[in-house]
Amino acid sequence: MFAVIADIHGNYPALKAALQAIDQFNVNHIYCLGDMIGIGPDSNEVLDMLFSRDDISMVTGNHDEAVLALLNGEEYPVSHSHVRSHHEWIANRLDFSFIEKLRSLPRSIELTQDNLRVLLIHYHIKQSKLIEHISNDPFSSIVEPSLDNLSKLFSDRQENLICFGHHHPIHYFNHQSRTYLNPGSLGCNNKPTARFALVDVAGVQSRTELNDVNYDNTDFLKSYSKLNVPDREFILKVFHGDQLR
């Protein structure tokens, strides 16, 4: 059995709660599908927890790569220009010890468990853009993850299970011999719950259990104002459902 988490977005208490819950199960490995940082202010705490464990593998998401572009002095994606000041704030606070570790992360992980072929990726990337810099917008962020859209996006893939994030609601589709799984954003929710998925494999079949765990997010939400996080009013409304009101 393995666990899948996605889109932590700098929410340390949510990550801590989710990992504590996952550790109660017979999980062999945890896969994190990108966007560990950005939006939430706890980048260092989140990365420290993720990199301190040897049972977690990660891929990068668009927020991770956009912040890295700033730290590397590289071209920043035009599509993210509306959040550049926020990403600069994240970059300026990031512990330098995590930069090289983030740089070394892949964009996707392909594996076989038993006879099940699995793809783990932040979201679809065209074959022609697999190695392109984030400034060229390789992630297909505009296309919503319906069954029809996912079938078209991943028509060139052979995996039985495709795990993705990027879009924050939960998505779970079974179609013929393929399953599409998005466990939902762990760190961005309109209620104080952290989401994750458990995948049990037997042969070429998989059984998915969608889970969430409650946690106290009061201090985390208040920290946006305490730390003067850029765009905090918009973030608290759109990504956290204005829970402080």
pLDDT digits (tens, 9 = 90+) for 161-180: 999 999 999 999 998 889 99
Residue labelled with tokens 């995996």 = 159
Q: Within 13 A of 75's CA, how many CA atoms are on the CB side?
A: 9
Integer CA distances (angstroms), 112 to 29, 202, 206, 215, in order: 13, 12, 12, 33
Residue labelled with tokens 């305490």 = 226
The tokens for 122 are 């932040």
**Residue 165: how many CB atoms within 10 A of its CB?**
28
What residues contact residue 205 under an 8 Å CB cut-off, 6+ apart? 116
Q: Which of 95, 20, 15 is nearest to 50 (CA)?
A: 15
Integer CA distances (angstroms), 36 to 8, 94, 177, 179, 209, in order: 5, 12, 30, 24, 22
Question: What is the model's pTM?
Answer: 0.95
11-40 pLDDT, tens digit each: 999 999 999 999 999 899 999 999 999 999
**Confidence (pLDDT) at 141:** 67
Distance of alpha carbon 224 from alpha carbon 41, whole angstroms:
7
**Residue 8: how many CB atoms within 10 A of its CB?**
33
Asked if the model's pLDDT at residue 142 lies above 80, the reply is no
Lowest mean pLDDT among 54-58, 65-69, 144-148, 202-206: 202-206
82-138 pLDDT, tens digit each: 999 999 999 999 999 999 999 999 999 999 988 899 999 999 998 888 889 999 889
Contact 34, 166 (CB under 8 A): yes
DSSP 243: T
**Confidence (pLDDT) at 110:** 96
